[in-house]
Structure 1
Amino acid sequence: MPEGVLIVGSGDAADHVADGLATVDGIGVLRAGTLDEPPLISERGADCVVVTLPEETGEQLRILASVGRTEVPTAVLADGVAVPPGVDRIAPDDESALERWVRTSLDGETEPDGDEREAPAPSSDELFDDSPTGTLIVRDGEIRRANPAAAEVLGRGQADLVGIDPATLVDDPDRDGIEELLGAELPPDERRRCRIAVNGDGTVDVQARRLDDGTILATVVDVTERTRRHERITALHDATIALMGACDAESVAELTVETARDVLNLPFSCVFLNQNGVLEPVAITERAREIIGRPPSLEPGEGLLGRAYDAGETVAVDDAQRDPRFHEDGDEDVRGYVVVPLGEHGALAVGSPVVDDFDEFDVTVAELLAAAAETALDRVAHEQTLRERETALREERDRFSALFENIPDPTVHSVHEDGEPIVVDVNDAFEETFGYDAETMVGEPLDDFVVPEDRTDEAEHLNERVSAGEHLDVEVRRRTADGTRTFHLRNATVGVETDAVEEYAIYTDVTDRIERERELERQNEQLDAFASVVSHDLRNPLNVVLGGTRLVRETGDLAALDDVLTAAERMDALVEDLLSLAREGEVVGETVPVDLQSVAEDAWTNAETTDGNDDGWNDDGDRGTLSVESTGTLQADSTRLRELLANLFRNAVEHGGVTVTVGVLPDGFYVEDDGPGIPESDREQVFDHGYTTDDDGTGLGLTIVEEIAHAHGWDVEVAESDGGESGARFDFTGVEFE
């Protein structure tokens, strides 16, 4: 049957090699993706291995570290890549060289038909003796012939080998294997192989096949060095796995020097790491410490190690005592040196007390070890950076969390999803102010808890601005545990470039401040009104009093006292209204549930006109009619509400109204009369101080009405009467009903 070559690799390169060798007679082609499972070689009957390398450098290093562990001839198709000793390198495009190597690895020349391969003829002494491959002819359990190459491999003379049982050549643990291999049970024309230990520490690879006449033809190859290299590569592979698990740079350094000591069998090894710009000896073998003590710290570029680190290149010295590059660093106990940089992290130095103790394989292993250590140090540094960042972020998060919780104003953290703020967290002040705990609100839309029904459009507009990355600095009305209040809203946003904008919003309650500002504004307006009344409205009747009094004194005509009395009554009404205005504008007292109909009827019964007449309110002596069309229970200061209604009733009757109607609105109440009404052009100024259409009026009645309404937190406006043709109507909104 065709002898097998295992093509390892995937992709076009591996396919091309496999297709080319498949056309050669006598060669059977096997395929595998990787060498991760070495038993695959023997299980599939491969006699040699051809490896194609991927383009990725890290994967190349991993594969090159594995190829030295194969137990059959192995070649790597690569240009300019260092391969482990014992492994052949063939140019990828040299197909003829590859075919020759495969044929040689399959034990000699292959006949053109590829079906049979004849063993060297026993009668051809010259061909047998000159063969570079150790060869034995075994028949009936005895060695009948051995060539010089076999004698050299087995450490015996040719004559000493003839006539003995092959099993006596090997160490006890391997005797069963050689007896099975070279015994009579070997099927004809079947190739088998085994690896045996000879001469104490030597290792020999034996391949045998049985010829038709029962003769067994066996080849013996000394693979001691290959086996040792394989063991080193395997140990290096295991060390690489351990390095990848190291948790810090010092652990990586310790594992590296231990591997250099155990794998290279060198007692002197040390790892220097760059610490703050100085190369410090971090790990050193115990033997090296005993002989040379602690190595000195080095600057980059200082000494052989510093220069190798600075240049980023491996430096090998056969004899440090005779090398001019090393005279200032030398130590009599260490003769050979290999220094391999560990990237930017430092350098690995290994030494030997023996001159010329390093071969190419030793240097390659040291470089592979350094590459693994550098990768581990990169990982450690990256993980350290991540840990430092994580620690900094955690500390920053803790500080922010403490700040968040201790802000005295209600604060909420939300994330905007589809333009809607979803609660992430709230502070204690927010829970207390708005009456919801964090557990209830987290994951839910913020506006569902705090936005009044009449403010939803405003809230949606603000959400759009936040989603666009705007910073808010506005006043808003929000629903709290104590009712609707006014807040100064400020915010900060993050992640504007992403789909989920995070917002931190602070609500500062400014309700009391606004009330104080309104009160101050009202007081200022009152002062202006008082000044106006004193300077104008009181001055005119006062002049009448003074003039009339002088006239009576000068003429004795008592008829002039009628004008004096009228002017005095006018002054009295002005003073009374001023005092009422001063009182009504103060903050209302405690509000209680009040029945609108009851307080309206009470106000109607006890109201007086400006002349003090409560029998007849108009010129015809007709008191008029009060009609309460609908009623309800509202929260109000009953005394102030009664005075508000009395002023409206008096104003309605004195201006010609016959019927005054009181009724309930969805969020308030209204007072309407059937008098001449208020021109639309005057409706915005009817509440101004001093506005009146009656020569005898003070112009303060409706001002008092507005002041009492605002003191309750209500809004008042002049509206069209229900009939729309005549009469005045006042609508009061923002009223809280039971």
Structure 2
Amino acid sequence: MTQGTRVLYVRGDDSRSQPARRLERRGFDLRAVEDAATALDDLGWPDCVVSEYDLPDADGIELLRAARERAPDLPFVLFTDRGSEAVASEAIAAGVTDYLPRTGGESAERLADRIERSATGTDRRADGRFRRLHDATRELMAETDPERIAELTTVAAREIVDASDAAVYLDDDGLELVAATGPHEGRTEKPPAAVERTHRTGDASPGNAGRAGGTDGETYLPLGDHGVFAVAASGTDALAPAEIRLATILAANAEAALDRAENETALRRERDDLAALFENIPDPAVETTMQDGEPIVERVNTAFEEVFGYDGERLRGENVDGYIVPEGQETEAEGYNERVETGEGFYGEVRRRTTDGLRDFILHVVAHDVGGTETRGYAIYTDITEQKQHQRELERQNRRIEALHDVTKRMKAAPDRTTIYDIVIDAAEEILAFDLSLIDEIEDGVLVPQAISSGVSLSDYYEETPIDRENNLAAETARTGETRVVDDLRASRYAPANFEYRSALSVPLGDYGVLQAVATEEAAFSTDDCRLAELLAEHAVVAIDRQKRERELEERAEELARQNERLDRFASVVSHDLRNPLSVARGRLDLARATGDEDHYRAVERAHERMDELVNGLLTLARRGELKSDPTPVELRSAAEQAWRTVETGDLELAIEDAPTVRADPERLRQLLENLFTNTAEHGDAATTVTVGGLDDGFYVADDGVGIPETEREAILKSGHSGTDEGTGLGLAIVETIAEAHDWTVSVVESADGGARFEFREDAGGTADE
């Protein structure tokens, strides 16, 4: 049958043409080609294809697969230098008709025989066994259970190899028989020594191994690290070489299947562990595949669904950035994606959008499968929203505290209390961001509005409030001196001034008043708001206290200036007015000693009396402004009559007309009247009557003497001014000081009779007509 059989010989090296020449000598119709592409074009011509393994544009296995797609039944013999079980197994799996290693010159003759059998159908059984080996290989590769692979291997051995039985021993913490056919079935004893040796050395023990401790006719083939495959020939003879070759290929395929199963198991365990880890991470996590620069969702964990609010199935296959990247941050996110695609990964703070709003995260992206068909990545989001909010709130608080310090400086420079109140309201509005703020000042037990936020009128918003009013927030704060916060005014005992306001904050301003703030939403005032409002109020109280102290110091300074002035006048009078009577007394005393004349002693006595008058007047002047008792209602008639009786008035008469009741210190009022009566008696030339009467806002004392020239009326009230040489010049000055102590004004005018008239009127309500 050789003559005329057409053989397409595909060779990889033109210099090695000896097999082709021998095939021609055997009578085959030979066509030699040098590459796989040409061979595929010529598949319609030959009865058989012979291909070497190493070809210029492919290898023999690749050509075999391509040929099977075009000509499934065309005989194909693989004639190769690569005589390994792996190549043989791969060829069988691809559907080779026969497989022949190239071992020397005699292999060309064997090739001719193989071609003849393949092309003429004389080796149909071998072809069937190869196809069964191919099918068994597919079955083995589809399994992941090692025991099932062992069972399939033993079954395939009975069908493919001319063997009476087969067995597979697997090493799972020691060799153990896991599958067998024939006599091996049910065997539980320790594996034969030959099995142990084969597994230990990794070398096959073909042929009749009975003498080595195994069963007669058995061959032992290693399954890598997995175990040993044992097959036994029918009878006691060893397996034929062709059967051993098939068993070796089957063992190699079984080993590959076990390797794959082990890898699959490890991968599955790794995937399961990774899936469990991915799902149980407490932080939101998403697995993505980078496609055209976009992170496409593969899956998300439960935490991601809960935090971001998106269903995992809805996100699958979607660009995750389109759902969670806030507007305006797309460019930043694209930069992260570029880093992931290059395998860099990313770790840092980001802000992302959830269905509940924006939140802050630490994003940790780990890239994997970089450089493969697609880049994948895991993104883990650690929620730090509360920490960031706390940080931002601290920064905001620090800014507000710094701003309040600036407010304190403005308060220090404020000229009056009203300005301080305005500064406080501005700070509450601009720095603390309160909707509406108000300051009430305590005046005689009543809260009086003093300042309010811009755009609101005090008179329209609030009325005066007694401190003792019940169920009033401001009044309660003023009484207790404690800060009050009301989260819901409508549900409280306090009645809001305006019903639109729902929450309120009330802070005491020391003993001066109350700072209040209201808001249109419930629970609007936080603990920090209260603390800062109290800090603002404390600054205001300190500023008011400072103003008060400064005013007191100014008043004290003015009083000291007045005292110094009185002391200066006192010293002046002492040095001037006392000098004359003292000189008189000293001179007369010398004359009295020399002459013994009594008139000189009487002159000394009069000089002493004069000095006594001057000293008493000076003491009274020094105590000006001092009242011995609080002013009380005093009948002017009674006071005038009493003073008249204590003054030497000579022939003068006292007239009282409509004398009112005045509020005064009784003793100082009598002293004032005594000095006026004395002044008339001593200086009121031609005066016959002194009249005391009432005015609409005070009283007057007048005489009918010659009067006081208009040019001298202002000067006569000054200390040291006297109309006579004998006068002290203190009497009318004392009158003025007593009037000032009562907040009265003194005017000197002409009386109705042409004499002098002294009028005393209330100064800003200092004297009241009863």
Q: Same fold (TM over 0.5)?
A: no
Q: Relative CO higher for 1 or 2, CA cutoff 8 Å, sep ≥ 6?
A: 1
Structure with higher Rg: it is 2
Normalization by structure 1: what TM-score? 0.42
The structure whose residues are more often helix, as a share, is 2
